[in-house]
């Protein structure tokens, strides 16, 4: 083994968390710590399921290749303590997805024959495996939210933020997703999103809150790190500022992210100063009339897009879209 393994590594795993110390020590003696760098493949879809892995450090990415031959898709991220491949060992089926290391990851690997042998000689391990699999079946069948214990972290250079959020939504997590960006020699927190049983309840990104905070997170080039910490919290104590279901919010965020570059191309110079041209505002969209009025009032003395983004508590897309409509209608110049 490259280095000695601490049996407590396994304690973070749902599969092994209730095992007595002697069981953990026995498994560690049989396991190996395997380390992977950025982009390295850990297992390949279709290969034999000959090992069980437990994530000891870092985060791994689950990538599925659709049967219709379309592009591979990232379907989830797994963090410390999560297990990969136990079903393949029991059923003899091939790997249903590939697993790669986006950044750096260390996994405890236990080969198939060893794991099956331990199941036979350690009744407590076999019993706990049955309990874990039964809970997963119950969760799938009854759609019962799983326990909020997930811990994820990584550098956004290697991770797709949308898939991170989709993983938290799909696994019904409760906790806080934080995003930090370099600020000199330290990392400053610039965003915080509160998940409640897989839904997004609250969000803050710099000076924005609610839906616009999530939208802006996708509209900003961020070179930083994310971390998610699962927490237990009473639902009745959470003040919600998000208006959309989590998946709808995520889909809308991605849509606006795709459309913003088109608006930026049309408006070209973010430092161009716009001013009122018409005598009064004319606006037909009742859902965004408050935003239009705020932009209109700010343009009385003139303002650039950059200044509007800073002064008006809405995401970049909403500000650019409003200015584009006013400009196209000849109300500003």
* Residues 237, 176 within the same domain: yes
Q: What's the CA gap between 187 and 26, in Å, rounded?
A: 40
Q: Please state the separation of Cα 164 from the chain's center in Å.
A: 2
Residue 1's pLDDT is: 41
Same domain as 163, residue 227 = yes
Q: Are 20 and 76 in contact (CB under 8 A)?
A: no
Which structural domain range is residue 71 located in? Answer: 8-142
pLDDT tens across 296-320, in order? 999 999 999 999 999 999 999 999 9
Domain contains 1: no
Return the higher-pLDDT residue of 8 and 311.
311
Mean of pLDDT values over 8-18? 76
- Whether pLDDT at 221 is above 60: yes
Residue 14 lies in a domain: yes
Residue 61 and residue 123 share a domain: yes
Distance of CA 107 to the CA centre of its chain: 21
Beta bridge partners of 77: 61
Residue whose token pair is 């968390």: 17
Q: Which helix (H) or strand (E) holds 154?
A: strand 151-155
Who wins on pLDDT, 184 or 214?
214
Residue 227 domain-assigned?
yes
With H, G, I as helix, E, B as strand and everything else as coil, classify residue 60: strand
Q: Under a CB-based contact definition with an 8 Å cutoff, are residues 154 and 163 in contact?
A: no
| Residues whose CB is less than 8 angstroms from the CB of residue 191 and which lie 6 or more positions away in sequence, other chains included | 178, 179, 203, 204, 205, 206, 213, 217
68 plus 109 within the same structural domain = yes
- At a CB cut-off of 8 Å and minimum separation 6, what does 181 contact? 187, 188, 190, 222, 223, 224
Q: Are residues 22 and 81 in the same domain?
A: yes
């Amino acid at each position: 083994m490259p280095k000695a393994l601490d049996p407590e590594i396994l304690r973070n795993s749902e599969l092994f968390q209730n095992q007595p110390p002697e069981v953990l020590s026995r498994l560690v003696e049989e396991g190996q710590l395997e380390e992977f760098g950025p982009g390295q493949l850990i297992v390949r879809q279709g290969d034999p399921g000959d090992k069980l892995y437990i994530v000891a450090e870092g985060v791994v990415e689950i990538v599925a290749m659709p049967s219709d031959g379309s592009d591979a898709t990232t379907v989830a991220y797994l963090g410390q303590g999560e297990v990969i491949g136990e079903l393949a060992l029991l059923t003899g089926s091939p790997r249903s997805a590939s697993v790669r290391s986006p950044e750096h990851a260390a996994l405890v690997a236990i080969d198939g024959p060893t794991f099956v042998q331990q199941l036979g000689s350690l009744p407590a391990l076999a019993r706990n495996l049955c309990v874990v699999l039964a809970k997963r079946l119950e969760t799938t069948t009854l759609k019962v939210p799983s326990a909020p214990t997930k811990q994820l972290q990584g550098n956004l250079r290697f991770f797709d933020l949308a898939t991170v959020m989709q993983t938290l939504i799909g696994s019904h997590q409760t906790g806080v997703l934080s995003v930090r960006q370099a600020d000199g020699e330290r990392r400053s927190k610039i965003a915080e999103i509160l998940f409640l049983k897989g839904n997004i309840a609250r969000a803050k990104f710099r000076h924005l809150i609610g839906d616009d905070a999530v939208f802006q997170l996708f509209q900003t080039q961020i070179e930083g790190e994310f971390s998610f910490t699962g927490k237990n919290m009473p639902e009745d104590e959470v003040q919600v500022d998000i208006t959309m279901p989590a998946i709808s919010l995520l889909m809308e965020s991605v849509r606006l992210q795709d459309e913003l570059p088109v608006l930026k191309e049309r408006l070209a110079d973010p430092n161009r100063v716009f001013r009122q041209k018409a005598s009064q505002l004319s606006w037909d969209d009742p859902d965004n009339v408050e935003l239009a009025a705020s932009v209109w009032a700010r343009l009385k003395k003139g303002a650039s897009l950059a200044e509007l983004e800073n002064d008006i508590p809405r995401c970049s897309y909403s500000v650019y879209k409003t200015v584009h409509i006013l400009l196209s209608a000849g109300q500003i110049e």
